[in-house]
Amino acid sequence: MRSITLGEVEITRVVEWQGAFGPARAIVPDAGMEVWKANEELLAPDFWEPDSDRWIGALQTWVLRSGGRTVLVDTGIGNGRERPSTPMFHHRNTDFLGQLAAAGVRPEDVDVVVNTHLHADHVGWNTVGRGPGEWVPTFPNATYLIPAADHARLDPAGGRNLRVDDVALFEDSVAPVVRAGQAVLWEGEHRIDDSLVLEAAPGHTPGSSVLRLGSGGERAVFVGDLLHSPVQLAEPSCNSCFCEDGAQAAATRRRILGRAADERELVVPAHFGGPGAFEVRREASRFAVSGWASYDG
Ligand SMILES: [Zn+2]
């Protein structure tokens, strides 16, 4: 199990899936082939497959042990979901809970679940199926921290036009934890403990957030889907195809990365394979990796 310790917080990565997902141009449409080629040394082989021009990424949960409590950051796709418009997410069956157990985490041990935002690949293991169409919280003792703006966007009571997958994820992965009384819908800023604070970072979705860690003079920021590829450091204006408000997503990306560079925060995106986390520096109006995370073992 690969872990990093920052101050008094231990960070462990639990991977649900890792590999080549789709055409690089489809995932980050704004970054032309010439941008990927110019950054090949940074991108290949962990984040880009040059021969097939495919984007390589990971679906993973970050497990934080902080102040005697266990905090999960994002919960992947989950098993047995109806996601007809995203074949890779549809009817999955993985041993994620076995992987979590291998990291020393049983479902009942989890105190806090953070969903950085409400997309299908960040909320799946919020729940498990107990019978046909019946979903219950996977983590019976956890408080689930859910961005209120994303909850409002997906709530069928809002009456907006929603994709079929969005309706399904709300019903099977979000509504059950709210009904169980285990959800806290937060906005603006939400402090978890002395070391961890959630902060709104809208753009990718209206409720997208980052989780900042500060402990013993060390810092990190879990940025969710602010980045899908290191190519977005070289071209910070380039959004992923999943960003809902492009202008706001780009402005938020520059703001959060700039602060991470200035305050020496380790940047931990949701979907980076390879070492998964990095230190960043400014390079004129762009950003560059100044070092990758190193793990204890
Ligand atoms: Zn995502």
pLDDT digits (tens, 9 = 90+) for 213-225: 999 999 999 999 9
Lookup result for tokens 């462990």: 12
Q: Residue for token digits 């560059």? A: 288
CA of 270 to the centre of ligand 1 (A): 7
CA distances from 151 to 91, 139, 148, 186 (A): 24, 20, 5, 10
How many A from CA of 121 to the centre of ligand 1? Answer: 5
The pair of structure tokens assigned to 204 is 């990718």
Give the pLDDT of residue 295: 77
Q: How far is the CA of 130 from the centre of ligand 1 (A)?
A: 25
Say how far apart CA 63 and CA 96 lie, in whole Å: 13
Q: In this structure, which amino acid lies at residue 181?
A: G
Q: Ligand 1: distance of its center to the CA of 122 in Å?
A: 6
Please tell me the distance between residue 228's alpha carbon and the centre of ligand 1 in angstroms. 8
- Quick: pLDDT tens for 110-125: 999 999 999 999 999 9
Using the mean position of ligand 1's atoms as its centre, give its distance from the Cα of residue 59 in Å: 8
Instruction: Indicate if the pLDDT at residue 1 is higher than 60.
Output: no
Please tell me the distance between residue 289's alpha carbon and the centre of ligand 1 in angstroms.
21
Q: Both ends of the chain: CA-CA distance in Å?
A: 7
Cα-Cα-Cα-Cα dihedral sign, residues 149, 269, 279, 4? positive
Ligand 1 center to 147 CA (angstroms):
15
Q: Which residue has the higher pLDDT, 121 or 295?
A: 121
Q: How far is the CA of 225 from the centre of ligand 1 (A)?
A: 5
Q: What is the pLDDT of residue 297?
A: 46
Question: 226 C-alpha to center of ligand 1: Å?
Answer: 9
> In angstroms, rounded to a whole number, what is the distance separating the alpha carbons of residues 297 and 292?
15
Q: Calculate how far, in angstroms, residue 224's C-alpha sits from the geometric centre of ligand 1.
A: 7
Cis omega (within 30 of 0) for bond into 23 = no
Q: How far is the CA of 66 from the centre of ligand 1 (A)?
A: 24
pLDDT in tens, 232-269: 999 999 999 999 999 999 999 999 999 999 999 999 99
Q: Is 67 helix (H, G, I), strand (E, B) or coil?
A: coil
pLDDT surpassing 70 at residue 286: yes
CA 83 centroid distance within chain: 19
| CA 120 to mean position of chain CA atoms | 11
Question: 244 alpha carbon to ligand 1 midpoint, in Å?
Answer: 12
Q: Which two tokens stand for residue 228?
A: 């899908």
User: How far does residue 271's CA lie from ligand 1's centre (Å)?
Assistant: 7
* CB-proximal residues (5 Å) to ion ligand 1: 121, 225
What is the rounded distance in angstroms from the CA atom of residue 23 to the CA atom of residue 5?
A: 35
In the chain, what are the domains? 3-292 (3.60.15.10)
Centre of ligand 1 to C-alpha 262, Å, is: 26
Half-sphere exposure of 272 (CA within 13 A, CB side): 24
